[in-house]
Chains A and B, each alone.
Chain A
Amino acid sequence: MSFLGIGILSWITFLPIVGMVLILFLPKDNKKAIRWTSVFFTALQVMLAVFIYMNFNRGLAGVNLAEGFQYVEKFSWIDIKSVSWFGRIHIDYFVGIDGLSVLMVILTAIISFIAVFASWGIEKSLRGYFALLLLLDTGMMGVFVSLDFFLFYVFWEVMLLPMYFLIGVWGGPRREYAAIKFFLYTLFGSVLMLLAMIALYFSVSVIDPATGEKFHTFNMLAMMNPTNYDPGSILAGVGTSWRYIAFIALFIGFAIKVPIFPFHTWLPDAHVEAPTAISVILAGVLLKMGTYGILRISYPMFPDATLHYQVPLAVLGFINIVYGALVAMAQDDFKKLIAYSSISHMGIVILGMSALNTQGVTGAILQMFNHGTITAMLFLIVGVIYDRAHTRGLNEFGGLMNQMPKYSGIMTIAFFAALGLPGLSGFISEAFSFLGAFQVEAIRWITIASALGIVLTAAYMLWTLQRVFLGSLPEKWKSLPDINGRELFTLIPLAIIVIILGIYPSPAINLMTSAVNTLVGVLNQHGGAMFLGQ
């Protein structure tokens, strides 16, 4: 499927770049044009995402089979024939989606579109802001569609710089500290990822069907096939120390992004300092890149290490859930509280993933999507109040329910979705993550212990609700205006998604079942039999 000879995934990935270039040519002072250009390009992206959703073949699996991917584009990108001691370098531009990535592509499109509207209030160097925002958009989208590890890495890094500047320039009082912390931390992670990537590159080689020449490749699907590993190479074999080390290096790279305890402390700082729209993107999409990376790369490439580290992974999920919730409870900054709640909710993704079975992984992917929409709502909600009151102190508010009824109504949906109320989307994904994890004997008790998070989440969410929205209204907030049309426009689409997927999650689940079942098959059979049989 292509338009003007360019595939739909390339369109959806690079449209924002087109928008960015256009914006850079617009006059600096024409704020209206800059904003609406951004709206136009992200709206196009949403339309493409809808198109992808409608035409996505639910029966195709993907994961480790090239034929299972959809909207595939593949052509040679870098091809250097025979460099003195290291042979031929060949890197493909290889994109495609399957059940693991399609929801993330849709999520990225939606969240970027909403983030543009949430950025309406930005006044400081508007042009630069929207240009960077669109660049960020491309980076995120690219990560989710890449099937070549090198390309993946490039997009991963492309996303980093705009994020750094968006926090460092447009952020709050401690923005420089937060931005550099985010930057260095993620860089540290990507260096580890780079190590693992290069180790993989030199271990895997494929044969060029045209020339019969054997060469190394960054093709992810090739890396998932045990028969492509050169005997004697560093990552050949099953369950070797090097494989475990490579898995851990990759894992840390991804874990920083999720973030998984103890690599999480950049997140609250980044969130507190970032402008609302950036927080929305950060929580809505960026965190998912970590868990997505684990599912897309770590799991199918290292099924042996995945099985080996199943229990520690579940333990980390438990720590994220309970520790995140407990620390969230002790916060008195609204945004910081939501940031920690994010850590807690991403723990559920980790727990579900660690189950390595269909229900758990489905729950985890669904939780990635649902957390994206719900937490985006929560950050938008914080943004609304911060724009008006210029403070986020939980203890300074009270009684907003009467003062801002519409705002409070939509807030109620978001809060209850976040605490996992049935009928709203968060519940379904939490429930299946837990159900899946419970089925694995090794992590059963960890799952039961994690259920404590359900109570803690209810406690801090309701406590926050009480402190901000119930009780009597302090005198100084008597003139706060209710939520306006633009802000409602950012929240209502998300609320609708949250409600629909809460009642009938099948539209989302049907997209991924084939892929998830294949992935689970790889882990259970190939992880054991195929790898061991080599």
Chain B
Amino acid sequence: MTPELLVKFSLLILFLPLFSFLILIFFGKRLSRQGDWLGTSILFLCLAFSSIILYYKLTVFPEAINYTFNWIDFGNVPLIGELKISLGLVVDNLSAIMLVVVSIVSSLVHLFSIGYMHGDIRYSRYFSYLGLFTFSMLIIVLTNNFFTMYVGWELVGLSSYLLIGHWYEKKSASNAAMKAFIVNRVGDIGMFAGIMILFYTFRTFGFNEIFSMISLGKIPMGSEAWLTAAGILIFCGAIGKSAQFPLHVWLPDAMEGPTPVSALIHAATMVAAGVYLVARTFPIMTADALMVIAYVGAITAFISATIAIAQNDIKKVLAYSTISQLGYMVMGLGVGAYTAGFFHLTTHAMFKAGLFLGSGSVIHAMHNALHHQKDHHTDPQDIRNMGGLGKKMKITFITFLIYTLAISGVPFTSGFLSKDEILAGTLAFGGLTGHYLIPIIGFLVAGLTAFYMFRVVIITFLGSPVDSHRFEHIHESPKTMTIPLIIFAALSFFIFFSFNPFGAASGWFFHAIERPEAIVPLTVQAADSTTFEEALHHSHTTAMILSLVVAGLGILLAFTTYKWKKINADALAEKFNPLYKFLLNKWYFDELYDKMVIGATIAFTSVLRWFDNNIIDGMVNGTASWTKAVIFGYTEHKKEKRYSSIIFILLGSVISITVAFYAGQWLWNEHSFITALLFAILSGALTFFFFWAGAGGFDKYVVDGMVNGIAYLSGFFGLMFRKFQTGKVQTYIVFVLFGIMVLFYIFR
């Protein structure tokens, strides 16, 4: 095994899913079983290759393996010199682990989809898009530069768009797809601006090149503020993609897509890309940038956890839970718990993909039962319509319970390990910086998470069925669906990440992923690794005990409320109605954006459309009618007045153009562009006025408006047109020739 071979393997992994996409999009319908076997087996092949890469990367090659090629050559650029743009990929521990995560989830989701999407109208299309998604995601994972990162970033956006809108006949689905793409684009602008800052300074997109130049003391525009800005702007991309506050609104709507898609894209991989991006670019983040990141993560985690409590759609609860957990990861990275943040990404990918597939299994069963009853009104995703499903769907129930334990942070699960590390990190951060709000939110959210997740488990799987007739038709899902559930459940245990169930620090993961050395100037550096490690060490036990307590409380509260019914949830909701409404309506973010952003934009576009049609084009048409009015004397004006009009117009325009030119030049030199612009507009208006007044506009056009102008215009054009048709094109040529002669004379 050589590094070159690993690169070849990774290229193979990258392009195999693209191959699957191309085959399925063009020939999918003609293949047997619409080619689902092709997509699925290709992904399992990818999984095999990624495991090989991870194994060799961890055991044989400690150094990162880079592969670059020249993409664009700008030649010898003035003032800069040779400028080449190279792109490439990197296989290091971070990308190797991420490769495995993506291919595990993707391959299992492919497998699950065979059962779940069975009989769908666009079955092969669905699988081809999954391939496209995996390809784009792997670009993000493997890239060694910002440019291809951005390329992958937008391409996952495309596949997400296509898959959310898979059932595009539904208006809600196509709306959600559009919303996801556009909201992400908002974040992407920020990311692109960040990339522009970095490219401006370093003239390269490569991570390594940029990092090494920063560590040598070269920073954007020579100012630390710009470095911070670059970091925050790059993070904007993560805000969009990882659905962080304030751009989190697209993710819950994205649940319109098929459930396996939610598991793959909107829970485990694509939305985690934001976290991956922060991990990749971690070295350029200054203390201020990290502080922003930590707070954004914390706020996101808190808001979405509170919303999740009040939701009744099983997928919506999971969606908000995903946002909340992503906020957790981002917060972890922000406080400096680099390894913990990325670790949580990995563990979360497994149990959250499991949760979504589990919910998919439940929805599938509900859907079939409702279909059997010919009931098309009951919502198969509303947990209030379920109840007692655990008895009928044993595998789904048990695996779902395991995932729930993991996400709640119960010992012996992977979630316990990763969550605990993040919480310890926040505590350490609080101790080092005094920002104790972060750990407080961290623990609060841990409790909330345990509560709302158990609420779902209890209402869905325990208790008595809501409708006994429907309950009879509930069946466990087929093997293609339950096998992925079991695998994900197995992967939710601690043993895969660390042999010590109460601490991940000794496991392979923490050895493989180490926080990169800080390279930003000392003055803007966050607490370095050693200081942080020490603080972490002190807060570890506290964090563990606290997290166990809050998780326990959350679970206990869920049982008292929904199982033992000691607390009446409905009565509580009634009592705190405004708060309940606030949470149920997701803090009114959608309403706010609808009114403030979308509504305002749409209104503004109508205004501009009017402006374009009436003012700008009105001037154009107006010029024609004025000219005609003056030259042809079409109006009711007397003859003598017409001549005075001509003089008036000529004089007026000469004066105003002269004044405009000299004054504009003076303003431009002495003042600013804006004053000159304002003045230009003003003098334009003046010229306009002379024209208007000269053409008798005061008498006539103020009264009749521009409506008549159009009529005149068409009359004028008709006249002109007739002339052309009677073979008088030569008048134009004569005119031009005459003009040339006059000009020759003037300039001679």
A residues with CB within 8 A of B? 85-86, 157, 161, 168, 176-177, 180-181, 184-185, 187, 191, 194-195, 198-199, 201-202, 234, 241, 244-245, 261-262, 264-266, 311-312, 315, 323, 326-327, 329-331, 357-359, 362, 399, 401-402, 416, 421-423, 427, 431, 434-435, 438-439, 447-448, 451-452, 454-455, 458-459, 462-463, 466, 470-472, 504-506, 509-510, 513-514, 517, 520-521, 524-525
Contact = CB atoms under 8 A, between A and B. Distances in A.
11 contacts: A86-B744, A157-B736, A198-B744, A201-B747, A326-B604, A422-B150, A462-B177, A463-B178, A506-B71, A506-B73, A524-B78
B71 A177 contact: no
Contacts of B153: 422
Nearest to B613: A265
Count chain B CB atoms within 10 A of each CB in A264, A329, A463 and give the residue with the most.
Answer: A329
Nearest to A509: B72
B622 to A, nearest CB: 12
Contact of B608 (A323, A438, A510): A323
Interface residues of B, number: 71
Interface in B515-562: none
Nearest to B158: A421
B12 interface: no
Contact of B77 (A448, A463, A520, A525): A520
Chain A interface helix/strand/loop/mixed = helix
**Nearest 8 A/B pairs, CB to CB:** A422-B151, A330-B609, A330-B605, A513-B75, A265-B617, A470-B168, A470-B174, A438-B196
Given A458-B181, A471-B168, 17 more contacts: A181-B620, A199-B747, A234-B747, A262-B616, A265-B616, A266-B620, A315-B673, A435-B200, A455-B182, A455-B189, A459-B601, A462-B178, A470-B168, A470-B174, A506-B72, A513-B73, A514-B75
B182 A458 contact: yes
B743 A168 contact: no
A422 B154 contact: yes
Contacts of A416: 158
Contact of A327 (B161, B605, B743): B605
Interface of B: 71-80, 83, 150-155, 158, 161, 165, 168-169, 171, 174-175, 177-178, 181-182, 185-186, 188-189, 192-193, 196-197, 199-200, 601-602, 604-606, 608-609, 612, 616-617, 619-620, 624, 661, 665, 673, 677, 713-714, 717-718, 720-721, 729, 732, 736, 739-740, 743-744, 747-748
A266 B199 CA distance: 39
B171 to A, nearest CB: 6
Nearest to B717: A180
Contact of B748 (A86, A161, A312, A520): A86
A505 B85 CA distance: 12
A330 B196 CA distance: 31
A421 B155 contact: yes
B77 A517 contact: yes
Contacts of B606: 330
Nearest to B676: A312
Contacts of A157: 736
A265 B615 CA distance: 10
B288 to A, nearest CB: 20
Contacts of A459: 178, 182, 601
B76 A517 contact: yes
B181 A462 contact: yes
A454 B608 contact: no
Given A265-B616, A358-B78, A513-B74, A327 B189 contact: no
Nearest to B714: A177
Nearest to B167: A470
Count chain A CB atoms within 10 A of each CB in B76, B78, B717, B721 and give the residue with the most.
Answer: B78
B72 A434 contact: no
Nearest to A514: B75
Contacts of B165: 470
Given A423-B155, A438-B196, A327 B74 contact: no
Count chain B CB atoms within 10 A of each CB in A86, A180, A416, A510 and give the residue with the most.
Answer: A180
Count chain B CB atoms within 10 A of each CB in A202, A266, A359, A520 and give the residue with the most.
Answer: A359
Contacts of A244: 665
B189 A451 contact: yes
A439 to B, nearest CB: 5
Contact of A202 (B185, B605, B748): B748
B643 to A, nearest CB: 25
A358 B82 CA distance: 11
Contacts of B747: 198-199, 201-202, 234
A226 B673 CA distance: 28
Contacts of A264: 616
A307 B199 CA distance: 23
A471 B174 contact: yes
A525 B78 CA distance: 9
B182 A462 contact: yes
B612 A327 contact: yes
A463 B178 CA distance: 7
B620 A311 contact: no
Contacts of B151: 422-423, 427
A327 B608 contact: yes
A435 B605 contact: no
Contacts of B186: 455
A434 B612 contact: no
Nearest to A506: B72
A330 B608 contact: yes
Given A312-B673, A422-B155, A471-B171, A191 B609 contact: no
Contact of B620 (A185, A357, A520, A525): A185
Contacts of A506: 71-73
Contacts of B609: 327, 330-331
B717 A358 contact: no
Given A265-B620, A454-B192, A198 B740 contact: yes
A194 B189 contact: no
Nearest to B611: A327
B75 A168 contact: no
Contacts of A265: 612, 616-617, 620
A98 B573 CA distance: 74
A421 B153 CA distance: 10
B172 to A, nearest CB: 11
A241 B720 contact: no
Contact of A358 (B77, B150, B152, B729): B77
Contact of B75 (A421, A517, A525): A517
B165 to A, nearest CB: 7
A194 B78 contact: no
Contacts of A202: 747-748
A212 to B, nearest CB: 23
A513 B175 CA distance: 43
B618 to A, nearest CB: 9
Contacts of B602: 329-330
A168 B729 CA distance: 14
A186 to B, nearest CB: 12
Nearest to A430: B192
A356 to B, nearest CB: 10
A362 B72 CA distance: 11
Contacts of A362: 74
B196 A434 contact: yes
Nearest to B199: A435
B199 A520 contact: no
B268 to A, nearest CB: 23
A435 B85 CA distance: 13
A181 B169 CA distance: 42
Given A330-B605, A435-B199, A454 B185 contact: yes
Given A423-B155, A458-B185, A177 B717 contact: yes
A265 B609 CA distance: 11
Contacts of B174: 466, 470-471
B200 A176 contact: no
Contact of B78 (A86, A472, A517): A517
A334 to B, nearest CB: 15
Contacts of A509: 72-74
